[in-house]
Structures are given as C-alpha cells and as structure tokens.
Chain A
Amino acid sequence: MQMTGLIPELTPRRREAFVGYLFILPTYVGFLIFILYPLVESMRISFQEFSLLRGSTYIGLENYAQMFADGRLRIAYINTIIFTLFAVFFNAGIGLLLAVMLNRRLPVLMRNLYRSIFFFPVLIAHTYIAVIWRFLYQQDTGVINYYLGLFGVEPIPWLSNTHWAMAAIIILDVWKNTGFAMLVFLAGLQSIPNEYYEAAQLDGANERQLFFRITIPLLSPTIFFILVIFMIGALQVFDTIIVLTAGGPGDATRSVVLYVYEIAFRTFNMGYAAAVSMTLFAIILVLTALQFWISRRWVHYE
C-alpha cells in the first residue's frame, strides 16, 4: 500500500501536522458550514425584519423588544418550564428508583430482561410513540380511561382539556425516557465498590443510612449528569407535542421550540423566530454553566 504519494515531501513533524489537518478537515468543514456559520448568521437574522421576497432590513433590537409584548411566547415559555420541571423530576426519580431496585439481589436473567424492557422505549421515535398514545388517550374509546374507569375514575379529557393535555405529554415522556435514566443510574450504582457498604454495615448502618450516606453521595456525579441531560432535552421538546396535541388545545401545550418552528416555517417571520431561538440558546447555556458550577459544590467526584 503506497500512501506516501498523498503527502508532500516534508519533515516528519510537518508531515504529522499535515495528516492531522487532513483528518479533521471533513469534520471541520461541516462544523463551519452547519454549526458556526448558521450560529453567527442566526444572530444576524435576529436583528432583521426578515422577508424571503422583499429582502431584509436591520431593525436593531426590535425583535427582542417584541418578545416582551408577546403573550403567546410567554405562555410557550411557561409551558416549556412546567414540562421541564415535571419531566426531569419524574424521569430522574423513577429512573433512580428502578435502578436501585434492579441493583438489589435479583436473578441475573430477571435483571437483564427488565433492564431491556425499561430501556427499549428510549430507542423508539417520539413520533411513533405519540401516534400510539394518541389512540390510548382518547376520551371515550381510549384504553387508559377504560382502566381508570374500573377504579371509578370519570373519563379524563386527556387531549382536549388544557391541564390534562400537559399531563398527557409529561406521562408519555416519562414512559419513553425514564429507561435511559435507569440505565445510566444502574451503571453508576454498579460502579460503587461493595467494600463501602460492607464497612458501613460493620459499623451498624441500616439500609436507609446506606442509601443516603453512601449511595446518593457516590452517585451524585451520575445524578448531576442525568439532570443536565434531561433538562437540556426537555427544554427542546417538540416531536411529541406536534404529533400528540399540535400545541393545543389553544396554546396549552405549545412549547418554545414548536412556537419557533411555527413562526419560522409557517409564517416565515424568520427574524423574530431567530431572536426567540437565541433566548432559548442563552437559557440552555446559562443552565449548563450553572449546573457545572453547582456541581463543583455538592457533587462528589472520586
């Protein structure tokens, strides 16, 4: 295999650098075209009154000022925050609970089977899951209301009531994603050395003390990781909502990303859409930074 023809005659060190740049070239071309350029361009567009036909004009901070008067944006933000709080709490909480129970003494076959079952929905598209659950959530014909009815619960208007619609989206999200938290927590739990538990037990610690004094502190990097990942994911919720409720009823489940999508690609008001997306970007950046800062204070890294 004669490869040297590809590389100009250079000193070894320069040749190494040349190959290095050659190898990162495809990735960096893509990075410049599809991440860096659009990011800068998006900022520029956010200062424009944008029109596909008439051309665009700079209007300074007007798009940003407009946001404060936009009641629908405020609702979209409130919806997104409510969704994020509940989704992160239940996904992480239930995931941790399942992982702790799976980490108890169980037949290996049972542990592996349950782990697979809990994880499988993570791999299915939000779209398909929303399609399935839309049938399950039907008020009169839906399976969920039928079973709740056996316990004497009146049929719930899952998708047509403003409050229940948000609950429906959160429940679906937890059903789909908590398996991911479970998998990561289980890996974290299994990496805690058993000697810690044995030593504590010799000192007479009970199960609750073991959990709160050993498991939780040693698991805190994992908990932290899961909180960040789920929070960033939840702030961008889109697929489930557009299929399950399309943001309705009214604006009850319209998320920020869905709102951005609609202004950008249905009404083509791209300047304003870019400005709104910038606020979401800023929030995600701040949250990420904040999470890392807090983690330095309470997370035990070994």
Chain B
Amino acid sequence: MAKTQAAAFGQTKPAPVKRRKPIGIGDIISYTILTIAAILVMMPLAWMFSTSLRPTQESFHLPPAWLPTEFRWENYLAPFDSSVPFVDLFINSMRITVAVTLGQLVTCSLAGYAFARLRFPGRDLLFLLLLASLMVPFQVTIIPIFLLMRDLGLIDDPLAIILPGLINAFGVFLMRQFFKQMPQELFDAARVDGAGHIRSFLQIALPLAGPAMATLGIITFNATWNAYFLPLVFLNSWHKMTLPQGIALLTGYMGSGNPSVVMAAVTMAIIPVLIVFIAAQRWIIEALTRSGLKG
C-alpha cells in the first residue's frame, strides 16, 4: 500500500472554482456526512490519547471521556519500566528504518538515473524485469530468505531486515520517472563543460531530485517503521525486536495488558509518523508553490 502513496501525493491543486450557487441542501448533507466521518476517524485516536493520560483503573470507564480528564504523564514513563525494553525497541526500529531509508535513496536514485538517462544494452528489458518483480508478494519469497539468513547466521540480527530492504523496485520506478522529466539541455550543457556521467548525476540530476527523494524517503520511512511481518519472522529476542512487535506483546495475551500504559506506548510510537505526516504536508504545499512560480 505504502508504495502507491506517491501516486496520490503531488496532485493537490485546489478544486476548480465551481459555478457560484447558493449553498443548497446537497451541500449541507455533504458537510454533515463529512463531519460525522471525520469524527469517526478521530475517535479511536482520541480514545488512545485520553486513555494514555488516565489512571489505569479509570481506563474502562463508560461512557468514555474523549478528552483527557487527568494528565498522568507518568503513564508515559511506565513502558520504560515494564518487562518490555522499550528504549531498545525504539532504537532498534529507528536504526532499521534509517538504514533502509538511506539505503534505498542511494540504490533507487542510482538505478533510476541509469534507467532514465544512460544508454546501455538490455536497459529496457532489465527495467521491465525489475518492474515485474513488484507483483511478487513477499510472503512468497520469505521462506528462502529465511533459510538464507539462517545460513548467514543473521537470525535475530537487524541486518536480516535491513539487507532485503535496501532495494525497492517501486522506488527505482519513481526516481526514473523523475529523472526522465528533466530537460535534456541541462545535461548537454554539463557535457559541454566536460562533466562525465557520474558528475552529471551527482552535481546536476541529484540536487534537482529533492521532491522525488522526499517522496521516496517518506514512503520508505513509514513502511519500514510500521513493518511487522519481517521483524516477526527474523527477530525473536526481547532486545532485538522492533517497536510494533514490542507493543503487540505489551498488550499481552487477550488484551490483558494495562490499557493506560499500552496507549501511552502506542502514542509514542505514532509520534514519528505524525512528524513525518506534518513534514510531508508542508513539503506538498512547497512543491505546489514552486510549480506555481514556474508555470
């Protein structure tokens, strides 16, 4: 799913100005439904946050209080004292996520540039083959990858997750599309100045690829931060696990975990996502303004 988010970003120009008409019954119905839907979407998150700040014994209070009634910030310290090594999990998740994101930015921009702007025998076939691999679900490849990692002694090692994460066929596609749109004159001018292919890539293409790199970086960061399947397969000791694994375990068998503490942990785990979200929104607006200036 995350791979396709890029398709949706980018096109956020405001709706065309419709004919000026007085607000009708249809508009009022729309507002109402949209508002109800927005409230329904927010409620579980509001419950999460307000519960995370309440004393434990009140977390099952009905009717639920949607806004925090108390501010027990000490609930946010509890995950650090629990049986789950929360700090380790956070660091593990962050380390894997940063390594995978940076790795993909390097491999995808290199390959995307080659497929977009360099000529070499077999180029289009190699690109198609890579694209076709997007149809292979990772559940199909996980068993041989598991056996491979076992032979390499990488079970319970973050490298087992980082290594397969370093490439991304979708990312290559995204970067290729971006590099293809760049005007040829830029590269011709560089060639006249005596720049080779590597310098054209590093000094001309890459500095202009900010928006595409940001899109890829955001998507990859989010997907890796949220990943559950691969860590579940490869990481099994407490100090090696990632945050989603740890929080699922903190919840306990059949939800026996302490709701306030679990919700405090989930809130903390969502914060990086929220930051990325806010950053992405600002980036979208910026990209819009820039394209507006050009146009």
Contacts and interface: CB of A to CB of B under 8 A. Distances in A.
A30 B11 CA distance: 32
B8 A184 contact: yes
A137 B64 CA distance: 13
A296 to B, nearest CB: 18
B212 interface: no
Most chain B C-beta atoms within 10 Å of own C-beta, residue among A16, A30, A270, A274: A30
A203 B157 CA distance: 67
Contacts of B144: 37-38, 41-42, 45
Contacts, number: 286
Contact of A35 (B114, B136, B248): B136
A96 to B, nearest CB: 13
B48 interface: yes
Contacts of A123: 222, 226, 273, 276-277
Contact of A184 (B7, B120, B169, B197): B7
B16 A190 contact: yes
Contacts of B146: 264-265
A26 B106 contact: yes
A115 B51 CA distance: 26
Contact of A27 (B108, B118, B164): B108
Interface in B226-252: 226-229, 232-233, 244-245, 247-248, 251
B192 interface: no
B260 to A, nearest CB: 11
A193 B8 CA distance: 18
B8 A277 contact: no
B7 A23 contact: no
Contacts of B142: 38, 264, 277
Nearest to A183: B8
B82 interface: no
Contact of A7 (B37, B139, B169, B196): B196
Contact of B12 (A121, A141, A187): A187
Contacts of B140: 38-39, 42, 277-278, 280-281
B111 A27 contact: yes
Interface string B175-208: 0000000000000000000001111011100000
Contact of B34 (A6, A114, A201): A114
Contacts of B13: 190
Contact of A39 (B40, B136, B169): B136
Given A30-B164, A125-B226, A265-B233, A190 B199 contact: no
A29 B197 CA distance: 21
B46 to A, nearest CB: 10
Given A28-B126, A30-B167, A34-B167, A131 B110 contact: no
Contact of B198 (A19, A143, A187): A19
Contact of B141 (A34, A122, A236): A34
Given A114-B34, A125-B226, A132 B266 contact: yes
Given A21-B120, A27-B167, A41-B144, A207 B226 contact: no
B5 interface: yes
Interface in B35-65: 37-38, 40-45, 47-48, 51, 60, 62-64
Interface in B247-285: 247-248, 251, 255, 259, 262-263, 266, 269-270, 273-274, 276-277, 281
Interface of A: 1, 3-4, 6-7, 13, 15-24, 26-28, 30-31, 33-39, 41-42, 45, 97-98, 101-106, 108, 111, 113-114, 116-118, 120-136, 138, 141, 143, 146, 175, 177, 179-180, 183-184, 187, 189-191, 193-194, 198, 201, 207, 225, 229, 232-233, 236, 238-239, 242-243, 257, 260-261, 264-265, 270, 273-274, 277-278, 280-281, 284-285, 288
Please name the 10 residue pairs, one residue from A and one from B, whose CB atoms are nearest each other, closest first.
Answer: A30-B167, A125-B226, A20-B120, A38-B141, A23-B114, A17-B120, A38-B144, A41-B144, A20-B118, A187-B11
12 contacts: A3-B199, A4-B196, A24-B126, A30-B166, A30-B167, A37-B144, A42-B144, A124-B270, A128-B269, A130-B248, A135-B263, A243-B248
